[in-house]
Amino acid sequence: MKIIIFVILVLLSHVSHGANHIEISASSIALSPPGSGIHAAYMTVQNHSQHDISIIHIESNEFDQIEIHETDMNGDMSRMQHLNEIVIPANQQVLFSPGGLHLMLHGTARKFTPEQQVLLVFSLSDGSRVNSNFTVKNLADIMPHESLNIPEGRQSNVMTSITVFFQHLLPQHLLTSVMYKIARIKWEPLKNFFISRFIDHYKVDMSIAKTTDAKSFRHFNAFFTRELKTTARPVDLAENTIVSPVDGTISQLGKIQDDVLIQAKGKNYTLKALLGDNESISERFENGQFMTIYLSPRDYHRIHMPINGLLQNMTHVPGKLYSVNQATTDNVDNLFAINERVISTFDTEIGTVALIMVGAIFVGSMETVWAGEITPASQRELKHITYDDQAIELKKGQEMGRFNIGSTVILLFEPNKMKFNEDINVNQQLNMGSGIATIN
Amino acid sequence: MIKKRTLKSLVLFTGLLIIGAVIGLFMLRFYSAPHQPPEINGFLWPNSKAIMDFTTIDQNGNSFNVDDLYGKWSLIFFGYTHCPDVCPISLTVLEQFYNRVANKDVIQIIFVTVDPDRDTPARLKEYLEFFDPGFVGLGGTIDQITSLTDQIGIAYLYQLPQSDGNYLVDHTSSIFLFDQQAQLVSIFSAPHSVDEIYSRFSDIQNFLSTNK
């Protein structure tokens, strides 16, 4: 009987799907220890409508009962609160994540294994229903990275390595993932070997690093993205200065001619191609200014804000696998435009400023402070996320992201808003925090 | 052209990896990294009293008392197996921490149930094996549990049963660190992170072993 009702619910919700303003994503069920019969589920719920909508009931034919719970901390006492319903405010999202809001699923005879799908049906206060397929996952894969500090959480066992191998038939992606793994080997002799060879070879100056003992890094990548002593890179806080976001060498700077940037002698690329065909963004920088800074392997690999800014949006262009519109690429050499890159735009006192992190071949991944690791390779579609409503404000000199093995930063400025300093030239070494331009 | 190059690089990297592994093995024998003095990043419980005797039953049905705390560093977490969120999260963090610790012989991760009625030794065993079979699970009668919790000064509270008879328990989400003399030396409060527990534990361990 229960199953019949459930099937009817599912059918009904399909019928009403068009009217739904609630979107459920990142839905996963944590694999729980055997015998407990209790599972926690996590998800992101977005309300795209102009009205508050509540989730009032949840059902699944795999579980007897599903409740909304919240882990409440009172001092160090954790208390599970049962909520009868939860309001998703208009145009907002509510996160259900470990240690906070979660769904408690109980009464199941089934033994789950990772990657299984379970359908949950959500009844909403506006009378509609939404379905969502929940994927069973290991809790470690759902938990926030900062609590486990292992973005490589899916620890390599032979089977997953083999699968990864075949998923990445393109050598570039294969190499990237091999590099990704090597950079995160924790076996001490090997990672110490890599790190010490690297320091010797590239003459890395460890005296300015916060942790000077090269052996104390967890793995190569932790060393690569090492933090510097707080005194090593003073930020020029003069009000009208724009500072260098990174340690690196200027490879190009100047005016954007219409929508063409000069990449190297005789090679140009267009804004549109660079920005993943996003015209509403690329328009703003036509005839503006740009600067390309190359980070050498020895350099500090964290990226800081060149100016105070409010994050507008972030676009992840997965690189080669994304085919740019033919019209935008005609007659242009698109070296940078085919590389994987993360484009962040900020609202600043000089209009929109774009900071583009360009991945080189072999780039494991890039991270931003608000989105964490932007997963490479596996996701092959262009992703555009708007942060208008989140008020992510970053101050000049504050860290905004890092390269986990990587490469180039491009800054774009709107026309007539700023001027590069006279003494700034191509091939010049820059330190993060030093002035590169003045606000008009 | 590009393909040839990347292939060459792949061969190069595989080669490097093998060479690295071999050289690494040799280096292992000569490696004993001198430790820097720890930075101050946490506080110790000064001169804490060693815990007095208590008796509990472990997941194998054997008695576990204060003597079993001597000689090892113990990280103790209080919870219950019907706990959907906080307990699995904390145990996952402890599992990762335990994986990272090189010398597991001197450390024990202990899960003490605050719900011994439902958490029988057999159930604790099944539950903890999911995380790490090396974890210790303690239960027994409520009085036995209280003989331990009262000494540490922690409380737990049963919520009213729901219609299906299931009930939730409020409990501390902190992890309590005891040294090898059964003295409470530090408390790690939630939200837990592997890095933080690892570095604080290492610092405390280094500090206490060089300053005693």
Give the number of domains in chain B.
2
Amino acid at B201: F
Residue B112 pLDDT: 96
CB A432 within 8 A of CB A304: yes
Using alpha carbons, list the distances in angstroms from residue A224 to A33, A212, B195: 37, 13, 18
Query: Does one domain contain both A165 and A301?
Result: no
Domain presence at residue A149: no
Q: Residue B170 half-sphere exposure, CB side, CA atoms within 13 Å?
A: 19
- The predicted model gives A287-308 an average pLDDT of 88
Query: Does one domain contain both B59 and B28?
Result: no
Residue at a domain's end among A94, A117, A143: A143
Q: Please determine, for residue A11, whether its predicted confidence score (pLDDT) is greater than 70.
A: no
Three-class secondary structure of residue A202 per DSSP: helix
Q: Please determine, for residue A53, whether its predicted confidence score (pLDDT) is greater than 50.
A: yes
Sequential DSSP letters for A175-199: HHHHHHHHTT---HHHHHHHHHHHH
Query: Does one domain contain both A75 and A163?
Result: no
Domain presence at residue B45: no
CATH assignment at residue B198: 3.40.30.10
Query: Does one domain contain both B26 and B59?
Result: no
Q: A390 or A179: whose pLDDT is higher?
A: A390
Residue A74 pLDDT: 75
Query: Does one domain contain both A282 and A417?
Result: yes
Which among B28, B168, B173 is the nearest to A189, CB-wise? B28
Q: Please determine, for residue A28, whether its predicted confidence score (pLDDT) is greater than 90.
A: yes
Burial call B81-104: b when 16+ CB within 10 Å, e when fewer: bbbbbbbbbbbbbbbbbbebbeee
Q: Which of the listed ranges A219-233, A270-284, A289-303, B109-123 does the model predict with the highest average pLDDT?
A: B109-123
Residues of B in contact with A181 (CB under 8 A): none
Query: Does one domain contain both B2 and B93?
Result: no
Q: Is A304 a catalytic residue?
A: yes
Domain presence at residue B43: no
Catalytic residue among A28, A60, A247, A299: A247
Query: How near does any CA of chain B get to the CA of A207, in Å?
Result: 15
Q: Please determine, for residue A404, whether its predicted confidence score (pLDDT) is greater than 50.
A: yes
Query: Does one domain contain both A281 and A166?
Result: no
Query: Does one domain contain both B28 and B113?
Result: no
Q: Does A32 touch chain B (CB under 8 A)?
A: yes
With a CB cutoff of 8 Å and minimum separation 6, the contacts of B177 are B73, B74, B75, B76, B184, B185, B186, B187, B188, B201, B204
How far apart CA A344 and CA A342 sit, in angstroms, is: 6
Q: How do residues B135-151 score in pLDDT, each as one tens digit?
A: 999 999 999 999 999 98
Query: Does one domain contain both A261 and A333?
Result: yes
**Lowest-confidence pick of A84-88, A90-94, A266-270, A382-386:** A266-270
**Which of residues 411 through 430 in chain A touch B, CB cutoff 8 A?**
none
Residue B165 pLDDT: 77
Query: Does one domain contain both A257 and A194?
Result: no
Query: What's the per-residue H, E or C state across A371-412?
Result: CEEECCCCCCCCEEEECCCCCCEECCCCEEEEEECCCEEEEE
Query: Which pLDDT band, with edges at 50, 70 and 90, does A373 fall under?
Result: confident
Domain presence at residue A394: yes
How far apart CA A312 and CA A385 sit, in angstroms, is: 9
Query: Does one domain contain both B102 and B72?
Result: yes
Q: For chain A, what is the mean pLDDT?
A: 78
Domain enclosing residue A302, as ranges: 241-439
Query: Which pLDDT band, with edges at 50, 70 and 90, does A176 fall under?
Result: low
**Lowest-confidence pick of A12-21, A44-53, A117-126, A374-383:** A12-21
Q: Please determine, for residue A379, whether its predicted confidence score (pLDDT) is greater than 60.
A: no
Which among B83, B189, B193 is the nearest to A76, CB-wise? B189
Residue A380 pLDDT: 57
Q: Is A247 a catalytic residue?
A: yes
Q: Please determine, for residue B90, whether its predicted confidence score (pLDDT) is greater than 90.
A: yes
Q: Does A149 contact B89 at a Cβ distance shorter than 8 Å?
A: no
Query: Does one domain contain both A139 and A162?
Result: no
Percent of chain A residues topping a pLDDT of 70: 76
Q: B112 or A217: whose pLDDT is higher?
A: B112
Query: Does one domain contain both A195 and A310?
Result: no
Domain presence at residue A231: no
Q: Does A104 contact B84 at a Cβ distance shorter than 8 Å?
A: yes
- A56 phi and psi, to 5 degrees? -110, -20
Q: Please determine, for residue B96, whether its predicted confidence score (pLDDT) is greater than 50.
A: yes
Question: What count of CB pairs under 8 Å joins A to B?
Answer: 145
How far apart CA A55 and CA A47 sit, in angstroms, is: 11
Domain presence at residue B27: yes
Q: Please determine, for residue B97, whether its predicted confidence score (pLDDT) is greater than 90.
A: yes
Q: Does A187 contact B24 at a Cβ distance shorter than 8 Å?
A: yes
Q: Which residues pair with B139 in a beta bridge?
A: B57
Query: Does one domain contain both B23 and B89?
Result: no
Domain presence at residue A152: no
**For testing contact with chain B, the best of A66, A76, A142 (most B CBs within 10 A):** A76
For A192-199, the CB contacts below 8 A with 24+ separation are A192/B24, A192/B27, A192/B31, A193/B20, A193/B23, A193/B24, A193/B27, A194/A220, A194/B20, A195/A220, A195/A223, A198/A223, A198/A297
Q: Please determine, for residue B158, whether its predicted confidence score (pLDDT) is greater than 70.
A: yes
Query: Does one domain contain both B137 and B104?
Result: yes
Q: How far apart are the first and last CA of chain A?
A: 72
Query: Does one domain contain both A339 and A315?
Result: yes
Query: Does one domain contain both A38 and A163?
Result: no
Query: Which pLDDT band, with edges at 50, 70 and 90, does B11 fall under?
Result: confident
Query: Which pLDDT band, with edges at 50, 70 and 90, does A336 fall under?
Result: low
Q: How do residues A357-371 score in pLDDT, each as one tens digit?
A: 887 554 457 788 888
**Lowest-confidence pick of A72-81, B72-81, B97-106, B121-130:** A72-81
Q: How do residues B29-83 score in pLDDT, each as one tens digit?
A: 333 333 333 344 455 666 677 889 999 999 999 999 999 999 999 999 999 999 8
Q: Considering only CA atoms, which of A180, A236, A214 is closest in space to residue A378? A: A180
**For testing contact with chain A, the best of B23, B83, B89, B129 (most A CBs within 10 A):** B89
CB A406 within 8 A of CB A301: yes
Residues of B in contact with A149 (CB under 8 A): 193-195
Residue A330 pLDDT: 36
Using alpha carbons, list the distances in angstroms from residue A142 to A80, A129, A333, B96: 19, 25, 41, 14
Q: Please determine, for residue A205, whether its predicted confidence score (pLDDT) is greater than 50.
A: yes
Query: Does one domain contain both B10 and B110?
Result: no
Q: How do residues A85-101 score in pLDDT, each as one tens digit?
A: 999 998 888 889 888 89
- The predicted model gives A297-302 an average pLDDT of 84
CATH assignment at residue A57: 2.60.40.1890
- Angle, vertex CA B199, rays to CA B198 and CA B200, nearest 5: 95
Query: Which pLDDT band, with edges at 50, 70 and 90, does A152 fall under?
Result: very low
Domain presence at residue B145: yes
Query: Does one domain contain both B89 and B15?
Result: no
Domain presence at residue A261: yes
- A92 phi and psi, to 5 degrees? -130, 175
Q: Does A156 touch chain B (CB under 8 A)?
A: no
Whats the size of chain B, residue-wise? 212
Domain enclosing residue B154, as ranges: 55-210
Query: Does one domain contain both B5 and B73?
Result: no
Q: Residue A314 half-sphere exposure, CB side, CA atoms within 13 Å?
A: 21
Q: Please determine, for residue A324, whether its predicted confidence score (pLDDT) is greater than 50.
A: no
Give the number of domains in chain A.
3
Q: B39 or A302: whose pLDDT is higher?
A: A302
How far apart CA A246 and CA A242 sit, in angstroms, is: 12
CB A237 within 8 A of CB A434: no
Query: Does one domain contain both B85 and B9?
Result: no
Q: Please determine, for residue B182, whether its predicted confidence score (pLDDT) is greater than 80.
A: yes
Domain presence at residue A424: yes
CB atoms within 10 A of CB A82: 12
Residues of B in contact with A39 (CB under 8 A): 84
Three-class secondary structure of residue A425 per DSSP: coil
Query: Does one domain contain both B25 and B63?
Result: no
Domain presence at residue A230: no
Which among A38, A82, A188 is the nearest to B82, CB-wise? A38
Catalytic residue among A244, A304, A316, A344: A304
Q: How do residues A127-151 score in pLDDT, each as one tens digit?
A: 888 999 999 998 888 887 666 643 3
Residue at a domain's end among A143, A169, A189: A143
Query: Which pLDDT band, with edges at 50, 70 and 90, does A269 fall under?
Result: low
Domain presence at residue A138: yes
Residue A125 pLDDT: 92
CB A387 within 8 A of CB A313: yes
Residue A297 pLDDT: 76
Q: Does A147 contact B193 at a Cβ distance shorter than 8 Å?
A: yes
Q: How do residues A101-122 score in pLDDT, each as one tens digit?
A: 999 998 887 888 888 999 999 9
Q: Which residues pair with B56 in a beta bridge?
A: B64
Residue at a domain's end among A143, A168, A197: A143
Burial call B183-196: b when 16+ CB within 10 Å, e when fewer: bbbbbbebbbbbbb
Which among B31, B170, B191 is the nearest to A77, CB-wise? B170
Query: Does one domain contain both A132 and A171?
Result: no
CB A342 within 8 A of CB A315: yes
Q: Please determine, for residue A413, whether its predicted confidence score (pLDDT) is greater than 90.
A: yes
**Which of residues 75 through 134 in chain A touch B, CB cutoff 8 A?**
76-80, 82, 98-99, 102, 104, 106-107
- For tokens 């069920």, name the residue: A29
